[in-house]
Amino acid sequence: MDGGGDSADGTVRRPPSRAVVEAVAEAEEISPDELRPPEYEPLHAVVDPEALDALFADRPTAKSGVSFTFCGYDVSVDEDGTVSLSENSAGDESG
């Protein structure tokens, strides 16, 4: 399964924090459960997962997104909750 966008029920939506973990795990070719310390930094080390989810809660007028670096990837979450990854070319990992 490659997450091609087909959905049987559009009302079921993953929280953005979970979508980020799943996207990074897929890029690393591991299961989301394997994306944990000590090999991988926890999401909460770079962004508050609850705040991320709250930012993208159903708000019809919200027109913003957020970007951050997580596990060596530049992560962008668009206003609709879509997660995009690109490899962090600068190699900046704070911690």
For Cα atoms 42, 23, 19, give the angle at the middle one, nearest 5 degrees.
80
pLDDT of residue 64: 77
- Beta strands in the chain, from DSSP E residues, in sequence order: 66-70, 73-77, 83-87
Residue-wise pLDDT for 25-71, tens only, equals: 999 999 999 999 999 999 999 999 999 999 888 766 556 789 999 99
Taking alpha carbons only, the member of 34, 5, 50 closest to residue 71 is 34
The per-residue pLDDT for 5 is 43
pLDDT greater at residue 28 or residue 1: 28
The model's pTM? 0.72
What residue segments make up the domains of the chain, in order of their start?
Answer: 16-87
How many whole angstroms separate alpha carbon 48 and alpha carbon 5?
27
